[in-house]
Amino acid sequence: MTTHAPQAAQAVTLPTTLDEAVAALAAVPAAVPVAGGTDLMAAVNSGQLRPAALVGLGRISEIRGWQYQDGHALLGAGLTHARMGRPDFAALIPALAAAARAAGPPQIRNAGTLGGNIASAAPTGDALPVLAALEATLIIAGADGARREMPVSHLLAGMELLRAGELIGYVRVPLLHAPQVFLKATGRTGPGRAMASVALVLDPARRGVRCAVGAIAPMPLRPLEAEQWVASLIDWDNGRAIVPEALSAFGEYVAAACIPDAAPAEDGSVPQLPPAVLHLRRTVAALARRALGRALS
């Protein structure tokens, strides 16, 4: 813990396998799992959380790497941002590597993990729009060695939740072998919390474009109609060419889908969006336009 914590946890368990960790959580229902602790310790130090016990996940080697599985990458939930930011991982999933490198200062990247980013589900989590755009799937570990799958978008949207005693074990991501881009805008220079972010991936096999916008809502937003529209304009057989005007139109399409105009008033007039909201909308449009341009180039 830290000297700033008003109360320390009464017990700390350090399992070495995923099943041992699940068993430890089942034995002490009030226990809280902790990996990097970047979000947990902030909650403890601010007085928002008083864990009765901790289950440390740092010694579970099986979730700290990745493996290949049927055209997918099976990523361990214990992968740190620093590890995902390295060149070998970037060659595998470029957008997720870019998000990991933008996750914050070195101390955060060295401690924070992929699973923690998903479980905390903070709107500004940099990995979340990338996983949404990639349509990643979670492998959930349960009691007695049970495993079940869940689309990451379902967890982030609250459509499905982790059950008592369950842990995120792995994240399965399709290997598209095509350009991927992650961009974010912050309120200050250097790594920081995103004001808005955009993840964009191309899927040449399906002639599709997948885009997710992060940080502007409680969960990443997918502008599905904008994706389908711009995919129909790309010349997939001729170097993925597209007319320049379509890039700007795509940015505006994405921004309008994620930050729509205000509802009409009773007299039929449409109220003007507040300046801060208009600025955010222009930011999303610029990010989406640039992301598509970089992916196609």
Estimate to the nearest angstrom the gap between the alpha carbon of 102 and the chain centroid.
12
DSSP-derived secondary structure letter, 80: B
- pLDDT at residue 133 in the model: 98
- pLDDT at residue 191 in the model: 55
- pLDDT at residue 115 in the model: 95
- pLDDT at residue 188 in the model: 65
| Helices and strands (DSSP H and E) totals, the chain | 12, 11
| Structure token pair of residue 245 | 């005007």
| Domains delineated in the chain | 11-56 (3.30.43), 66-174 (3.30.465.10), 180-296 (3.30.390.50)
Q: Is 155 left (phi over 0), alpha (psi -120 to 50) or beta?
A: alpha
Mean pLDDT by 10 residues, the chain (297 residues): 44 94 92 84 74 90 94 96 97 97 91 94 94 98 95 94 93 95 82 88 96 97 98 95 96 97 82 93 98 96
